Amino acid sequence: MSALTPVSANVQALQIGGQLPIDVLHWGTAILPIVILLILLIGFNWAADSAAVVGMLLAAAIALTVFQTPIQTLAIAVGEGVWRPVRRLGGAVDLHGRR
């Protein structure tokens, strides 16, 4: 057993079954929607709801093109991203007794 075996095993685990490469291009494209959100919110003083739509569309486009995410997976993620705040708002209303 060589000394590099644990390191290579960790890298393979990070590659999600060896299918997703870990490099600067993929990290950069993954963080791009967050950078764009910050630029829109802070630099251009956009409203959060408008910037969120742009960020979500950009993240979806990157997921489909760069990471080749299946459309079903993307649809589930978008649905969860839309539903989670609605559910939290509904819980906040119930906690205060207002409907």
**Chain segment 46-69, per-residue pLDDT in tens:** 999 999 999 999 999 999 999 999
> Identity (one letter) of the amino acid at 94?
D
Using the 8-state DSSP alphabet, how is residue 41 labeled? I
Q: How sure is the predictor about 21, in pLDDT bands with cuts at 50, 70 and 90?
A: confident
Percentage of the chain surpassing pLDDT 90?
Answer: 54
Q: What is the mean pLDDT of residues 38-47?
A: 97
In this prediction the pTM is: 0.68
Query: Measured in whole angstroms, how far is the alpha carbon of residue 75 from the centre of its chain?
Result: 13
Specify the pLDDT at position 94.
55
20 φ, ψ to 5°? -110, 110
- Identify the pLDDT of residue 30: 93
Determine the Cα–Cα distance for residues 86 and 41; give it in Å rounded to an integer.
Answer: 22
